[in-house]
Structure 1
Amino acid sequence: MLEYYKEILNYVSKLVGDKESAKDIAQETFVRVMELDSNKQINRSFLYKTARNIVIDELRKNKKFSHVEFLEETYSIPKYEQPDEIVIEDNQYKNLMKIVNTLPSRSKEAFIFHAIDGYSRKEIAEIMGISQNAVEKHITRATKKLQEKLTNKVGQLER
């Protein structure tokens, strides 16, 4: 079960945007799970659900986590030869992450698992505790919403 610690920590970090809080929540996840009946086999999806529930509890209590800042730190921007290309790419990335963070929470979660982390729809369904069909709907909605917002943003720039 502890082999999933780093995976759970990364997941929680993406949700809360604060590294220290993520460590605390990941640790709390494993403490809670270990306090359960030790004869029962704990699977990966149960760990994700437990972590997600703790995150929700913390968000309700604190309302302090910033998703954008941590995501910008976590996912590195490709390095180019010219400094102006780096600045342009960095700005595009920041703008995209701001838009991603406006998505409804379940759609955002499914989209990040799929587009950024590279999980399959089946894996996402298991982690989120929903059907593959529901995962597909969340990803489709998120993609359409992102396309709309990006199209609007480009339209505003062209004016």
Structure 2
Amino acid sequence: MLERYYHELLNFIARSTGCREKAQDVVQESYARVLASHGNTPPAQPRALLYTTARNLLIDQHRQQQRHPEHALNDTELPAAPACEPERTVAAQQSLARLLDIVAGLPPRCRQAFVLYKFDGLSTADIARQMGISVNMVEKHIINGMLACKKGMAGQDTP
């Protein structure tokens, strides 16, 4: 069940850190901690738990670097990208929360097609087979979902 959020979480953390390798480490550690704490029992909110765990790991790493700045960089690392600044991280988290709210507000069939396409990476043909609808209808659902996201995200910038 948790595997379905891997790529989504990895992309989010990579945008937050500016480094895909660091993001992979954080996501792997997040999964390890969630699985260790819950064992075979799936958590009630697996996605939220994974995001919270990953965010807390980033905070812990940042604090560690603040306490021991001499260990923050090794010979192969560069300073963190501006995307690691706390203000940008918070803004990215707020944007993600807004985007997820928009997706949650889509009509059920539109949301299903959009999530399968954008988050799960399925092709329109695979989605059409899974949902029992035409490829054309899948494409319409995806377009409607993207338009709703674009419209909703554009509206967040205005006070």
TM-score normalised per structure 1: 0.49
Considering only CA atoms, is the larger Rg found in Structure 1 or Structure 2? 2
TM-score normalised per structure 2: 0.49
